[in-house]
Structure 1
Amino acid sequence: MPEQHAEERYAHLLELLSRQQFASIEDIRRATGASAPTIRRDLALLEERGLIKRARGGASLATTASTLDEAFELRRRRNAREKGAIALAAADLVKPRASLLLNDGSSILALAEELISQGDPLWVATSGLNIGERLASAAGIEVIVIGGALRASSFGTSGPLATSAIAQLTVDTTFLGCDGIDLELGVRSNSLLDAEIAAAMARQGRRVVVLADSSKVGQRAVAGTVRWSDVDVLITNGLDARWRESLRRADVEVIEA
């Protein structure tokens, strides 16, 4: 992949580290397209900001509370315009008084902002603490935050407490962000824990809608989340004819924002 601009590289790097405990120089090179010297300079700068901790051969995400918001904000800025358009298209699918399940992530946070702007009464359960906090500020939206083990780097809950709670719910629509989508394997995640939560949510939604900006297209990631046979709608910002035809055969509606 071509080398990216600095802010885009930082966002990719931080998103990678939010999904795995350690990333090697090679992992980061594949995620950003940057050369090893550029990566080392980026790591030095991000360590100075307190966002990461360098280690031999790579880095891990710093978990001090004072830097979490900044780290998430950098990830949120990645493809922000595309995510905003996708979130707007997703919000258009939501009717007043609908019940929703939302996992965590920057695309889902963008959807939460659009739902607040609409001002409709809704019932929402989410595994994202920052998403729950944001939605709770809106009159008319009843918010349930799903408990479980907290992953500080992503503000998401996971584990058996979370999946047990999700299994008790049945909602109109499940909205899922992801780390990648693959034509053969379906919706993908860089974390087994995130994949487990997304799969549990997909089982409880009468309709399953996946949000994936163009950077996620063709990315297999490490863990399977949901196969295309369990997805009703994909909202993205650009697919080629091969993708559109394959998803049509799988009965997945594609909305290109």
Structure 2
Amino acid sequence: MYAEERQQAIARLVSQRGRVSVNQLAREYDVTTETVRRDLSTLERMGLVRRVHGGVVPPSSISLIEAGLRERDLVNTETKERIARAALELLPPANGTIVLDAGTTTSRLASLLPLDHPLTVVTHAVPIAARLAGQRHLDLRLLPGRVRRTTQAAVGADTVEALSHLRVDVTFVGTNGVTPDHGLTTPDPDEAAVKRALIGAGRQVVAVADASKFGIETAVRFAAPGEIDVLVTDSAVSTADRRALAKAGVEVVVA
């Protein structure tokens, strides 16, 4: 098979299967992994595939434009509500401390916090802070930083520095994409830096992500699978992905 023929076949295979690893392609076409990587580089330059950690996906699988908060809030609303309710079971005891990441699912979690369960809540998300401000059973702490218009969340060196001095019972973190082998990703480096700091501040780390986030890899990884203690998701996540996450030490809770 000539290189051009193999590359066309790879593009068709990726379109049919979705995500394919470099090793799978090497076995499929009986070539070395180095040959596969050269083929993938050629196909990516042509816009036919997108390379990700360890393999390749169709170009449509990776979001090139980060959706705004309002647009994302209109997607999978019922599923996110179920995930948020399931995540409530992971709250620390009364008078404990939590960090809430920016995001539509974490925002729903904030709106569901029980009125008879006093907590200290730390967040960098302006909409979450606005929602919780004035609630007498909560001690609300708003992190400093530059507020991004897209996510309406504080980011930057001041945010990361403030988090470096905190130790909370539970961190609830969102993600733009998750794969069992590569971990959790987000498009923006500043957001990723804050998410790493959020994770570092938590004794327990709980990720919330609906099934639409699986198989997606955006530009910047902020957590390997083993850095997450629990992932709360929905029943549409494949059995294979659940098993792979469990193998990495992640407890998967299905809402």
After superposition, residues 200-219 of structure 1 pair within 5 angstroms as 200-219=197-216
Aligned residues: 198
Partner SS state of residue 217, structure 2? coil
Deviation at 1:138, TM superposition (A): 2.0
Tell me the distance in 2 between the aligned counterparts of 1:105 and 1:60.
12
Q: Is the 8 A contact 1:119 1:138 kept in 2?
A: no
1:13-162 matches, within 5 Å, as: 30=60, 72-94=69-91, 95-115=93-113, 117-162=114-159
Q: In structure 2, do the counterparts of structure 1 residues 147 and 217 end up closer, same or farther at CA, with 3 Å as the change threshold?
A: same
Q: Which moved further from structure 2: 91-100 or 80-89?
A: 91-100
C-alpha separation in 1, matches of 2:201 and 2:191:
16
Aligned equivalent of 2:191, options 189, 194, 198: 194
Q: 2:71 corresponds to which letter in structure 1?
A: L
Q: 1:160 to 1:188 in 2, by over 3 A?
A: same
CA offsets, 1:69-101, max 9 Å, x none?
xx6333212100010000001112113222011
Alpha carbon RMSD of aligned pairs, Å? 2.5
Which residue number in structure 2 is paired with residue 64 of structure 1?
none
Change (3 A) 1:139 1:215: same
CA distance in structure 2 between the aligned counterparts of 1:59 and 1:104, rounded to whole angstroms = 18
Quote the Cα distance in structure 1 between the aligned partners of 2:96 and 2:211. Answer: 28
d(CA) in 1 for partners of 2:61, 2:149 = 22
Given candidates 219, 225, 230, the residue that maps to 1:228 is 225
Tell me the TM-score normalised to structure 2 length. Answer: 0.72
The amino acid of 1:203's aligned partner reads G
Q: Unmatched 5+ residue regions in structure 2?
A: 1-14, 16-48, 51-58
Residue 184 of structure 1: how far off its partner (Å): 1.1
Deviation digits for residues 221-246 of structure 1 (CA, Å, limit 9, x no counterpart): 11101111111000000322211221
Seen in structure 2, the aligned counterparts of structure 1 residues 216 and 97 have a Cα distance that, compared at 3 Å, is: same
TM-score (norm 1): 0.71
CA deviation after TM superposition for structure 1 residue 160, in Å: 0.4
Secondary structure of 2:117 counterpart:
coil
Instruction: Give per-residue Cα distances to partners, 1:102-130, cap 9 Å, x unaligned.
Output: 11111110110111x45411101101011
Q: What is the CA deviation profile of residues 180-200 of structure 1, one whole-angstrom value per residue up to 9, with x for unaligned ones?
A: 101111111111111111111
Are 2:61 and 2:216, in contact at CA under 8 Å, matched by a contact in 1?
no
Gaps of 5+ in 1: 2-25, 34-57, 62-70
Question: Structure 1 residues 147 and 140 mapped into 2: Cα distance closer, same or farther (>3 Å)?
Answer: same
Rounded to whole Å, the distance in 1 between the matches of 2:247 and 2:212 is 23
Tell me: CA distance 1:60–1:123, structure 2 relative to 1, closer, same or farther (3 Å). Answer: closer
Q: Are the equivalent residues in 2 in contact too, given 1:127–1:146 (CA < 8 A)?
A: yes
Mapped contact 1:122–1:141 kept (Cα < 8 A):
yes
- Partners of 1:153 and 1:245 in 2: CA distance: 34
1:254 aligns with 252
